[in-house]
Amino acid sequence: MSINNCIFSSKCKQYGNEERCNPLCTYYTYMHGLNGDGGFWRTRNVPKKYDDCRLENLPIDKDNPQVYKRIKKYAESMGEFILDRNVGLYLFSVPTEANKFGTGTGKTTTAITLLNEFVIWRVKLHVSGENRINSNPALFMRASEYQNIYNDQFKGDFTVKEKASYKFSRYKKSMTSVDLLILDDIAVRGGTEAYLNELYEIIDTRATNGLTTLYTSNITIEALVDMLGDRIASRIEGMAVPVELVGADKRKGGLF
Ligand SMILES: Nc1ncnc2c1ncn2[C@@H]1O[C@H](COP(=O)(O)OP(=O)(O)OP(=O)(O)O)[C@@H](O)[C@H]1O
Ligand SMILES: [Mg+2]
CATH of the domain at 138: 3.40.50.300
Burial state string for 71-93 with b = 16 or more CB within 10 A and e = fewer than 16: beebbeebeebbbeebebbbbbb
From CA 95, how far away is CA 218, in angstroms rounded? Answer: 8
Provide the domain limits for residue 188: 44-243
**Domain contains 122:** yes
Give the Cα-Cα-Cα angle 147, 149, 153 (nearest 5 degrees). Answer: 110
For residue 212, the CA-to-ligand 1 centroid distance in Å is 23
For residue 109, the CA-to-ligand 2 centroid distance in Å is 7
Number of domains in the chain: 1
**Domain contains 24:** no
247 C-beta closer than 6 A to ligand 1: yes
Contact assessment for residue 216 and residue 245, using Cβ atoms and an 8 Å cutoff: no
**Domain contains 98:** yes
Query: What tens digit of pLDDT does each residue of 151-162 get?
Result: 999 998 899 899
Query: What tens digit of pLDDT does each residue of 15-67 get?
Result: 888 888 888 899 999 999 988 889 999 999 999 999 999 999 999 999 999 99
Q: Provide the pLDDT confidence category of residue 14 given band limits of 50, 70 and 90.
A: confident
**Domain contains 89:** yes
User: Atom 27 (ligand 1): residue with closest C-alpha?
Assistant: 103
**Domain contains 230:** yes
CA distances from 116 to 31, 149, 166 (A): 11, 24, 27
**Domain contains 5:** no
pLDDT at 42: 95
218 C-beta closer than 6 A to ligand 1: yes
3-class SS of residue 11 = helix
Residues with Cβ within 8 Å of 62's Cβ and at least 6 positions away in sequence, in order, are none
CA distances from 21 to 25, 75, 120, 135, 236 (A): 6, 27, 17, 25, 43
For residue 50, the CA-to-ligand 2 centroid distance in Å is 11
Q: Which atom of ligand 1 is nearest to the CA of 111?
A: 18
**Domain contains 15:** no
**Domain contains 22:** no
Q: Which atom of ligand 1 is nearest to the CA of 105?
A: 21
Say whether pLDDT at 4 is over 90. Answer: no
Contact assessment for residue 20 and residue 14, using Cβ atoms and an 8 Å cutoff: yes
Q: Provide the pLDDT confidence category of residue 1 given band limits of 50, 70 and 90.
A: low
Which amino acid, one-letter code, is at 233? A
- pTM of the predicted model as reported, rounded to 2 decimal places: 0.95
For residue 28, the CA-to-ligand 1 centroid distance in Å is 29
Query: What tens digit of pLDDT does each residue of 172-198 get?
Result: 999 999 999 999 999 888 889 999 999
- The proportion of the chain whose per-residue pLDDT surpasses 90, expressed as a percent, equals 79
pLDDT at 253: 61
pLDDT at 152: 92
Q: Which ligand is nearest to the CA of 183?
A: 2
Query: What tens digit of pLDDT does each residue of 204-216 get?
Result: 999 999 999 999 9
Contact assessment for residue 35 and residue 24, using Cβ atoms and an 8 Å cutoff: no
